[in-house]
Structure 1
């Protein structure tokens, strides 16, 4: 890949995934094949929104030294207004100071001289799973990512349903159980880890979800209980999605979903109990296949949809 001179024979595309900890980025061809991949620290708290813009521009310009880039696709944490301006409508000031209000797409496009589209990170991951992953070809898809928090995206005919304020799919903020609690406070990996940490008298800061599952596989009753509580709460939210949207497929992503063998039968069993057959029989549960490349691949599908890849 690469070489001393600028390669003009085949146009390439840059894809950038901006998270709270790391910025993942890559170079791809028109078919969505990632030819190069790398990452660098986001340093959002230290360098703010302007630092993120600078890093995105630097990534694109480094590729432009070696390749003829046709366009760049970016996905990012935060609420994003779709369109070529790529406005960051909202990103929490604690984690992303000075990021809200930045026209990320316009800034990168003007600095690099090529078109740029921007999408929310979960939305982009959903597009990736629809194009090349677990939801390939489905007419209606709900993708839920389970991690420290819970994110979601609804796709209809391969298009993101953004909502009136561009925040549709934010399943983690649903109210559940009639309590004054959010869905992600009861059903996220963080909630499972916190419960397991208390029962084992250890700090949640140093405890990984994979460790809790290892304990459960070894017969640790407290670890099993923590996982079961997460599954119960998660399944309740998924049951609501089934009733509200009746999607053809629900795709579950996030690091904890690597435990598919353990989770799949239990989640499916719970949903079968919670939702009447007429409202669930047409919906299948799938687990994400693209891993942490889903967003970058989704960015390329976004470029295709915008007519920027031909």
Structure 2
């Protein structure tokens, strides 16, 4: 019998959701997060309302991807900055399970994006994988043999805080800074253009737009070089809306990486571009749910066998 799950991806701007059946996302939608005004409780109310709207589908569980540093076992938000008021310390998993009676898993959004790309996207088959998302900041997830490396306090992959010569990687390689640089050169408001506009200008031969994009690529490649030196991964997947400009970015990123590092340091590392787009977090949230359930079942079976062995003795 096919199981149905409700998957949610809680971001600073919107909460995306989808019904998942047979590993496929259906009936997708989104609502505004409004985290600064609604706060953690208000966001949780939106999550519960979405789950309730799908209750007649015979849901098996709730799989959540969310911004912030997450304790995945407890499903608690350890740190979330200011995007959602009072979100730090919020016990999201416990609230959902107590209210709905459904099992729930919670994981960091970039970790979920990495799991999604590993499961169904550009990371398929990679034994070691780093998945980056480039947007208003830069984040990453790290996977070895399909398992997330979360770090001692679940903050592994927070490479936006990596220190480069000019500052934080997340600031230097942000799409926001690229847009601001191009807008200033053209004497227009940064709010009047977006990243796609900058790439359109660059393809039309605009030197200022080309320089603005180069200003994003340079620190990004510096970060990639550091990752290659430290981890030597089999694959690096680049995601985020800006990476839809693969045709423009790929040759420049690869050429700059060749200049930044001897080939011996990264000759076995393939640079790939994310394939799942906005569905990566939702897909990864489902993957995370299924993996945690499988682990729990294996643990229960092992515990049962151990108890049986003790009885035999």
TM bracket, shorter-chain basis: over 0.9
Determine the structure 2 residue equivalent to 1:182.
Answer: 168
- Cα distance between partner residues in 1 of 2:223 and 2:177: 15
Determine the structure 1 residue equivalent to 2:64.
Answer: 74
Match of 1:306, SS state, is: helix
- Which is richer in helix? 2
The CA deviation string for residues 169-197 of structure 1, in whole angstroms up to 9 with x for no partner, is 011111102x4x11122111112111111
Gaps of 5+ in 2: 298-313
- Cα distance between partner residues in 2 of 1:12 and 1:215: 45
1:120-135 to 2 correspondences below 5 Å:
120-135=108-123
- Cα distance between partner residues in 2 of 1:202 and 1:16: 37
Alignment of 1:284 with 2:270, yes or no, is yes
Compute the displacement of 1:96 (Å).
Answer: 1.1
Within the candidate set 63, 83, 91, 1:103 is matched to 91
Alignment of 1:42 with 2:33, yes or no, is yes
Match of 1:97, SS state, is: coil
1:1-310 to 2 correspondences below 5 Å:
10-29=2-21, 31-64=22-55, 66-83=56-73, 85-93=74-82, 95-177=83-165, 179=166, 181-307=167-293
The CA deviation string for residues 184-226 of structure 1, in whole angstroms up to 9 with x for no partner, is 2211111211111111111112220110111111111111111
Match of 1:99, SS state, is: coil
**1:186 touches 1:230 (CA, 8 Å); kept in 2?**
yes
TM-score with structure 2 setting the length: 0.92
Q: How many equivalent residue pairs?
A: 296
Match of 2:102, SS state, is: coil
- Cα distance between partner residues in 1 of 2:33 and 2:216: 30
The CA deviation string for residues 70-125 of structure 1, in whole angstroms up to 9 with x for no partner, is 11110111111111x310001113x2111111110111011111110000011001
Match of 1:114, SS state, is: coil
Compute the displacement of 1:308 (Å).
Answer: 6.0
Deviates most, 278-287 or 183-192: 183-192
Compute the displacement of 1:11 (Å).
Answer: 2.6
- Cα distance between partner residues in 1 of 2:294 and 2:264: 41
1:206/1:308 Cα in 2 relative to 1: closer, same or farther (>3 Å)?
Answer: farther
Runs of 4+ in 1 over 6 A off after TM superposition: none
**1:74 touches 1:299 (CA, 8 Å); kept in 2?**
yes
Match of 1:307, SS state, is: helix
**1:70 touches 1:308 (CA, 8 Å); kept in 2?**
no
- Cα distance between partner residues in 1 of 2:270 and 2:2: 39
Compute the displacement of 1:10 (Å).
Answer: 3.6
- Cα distance between partner residues in 2 of 1:135 and 1:244: 19
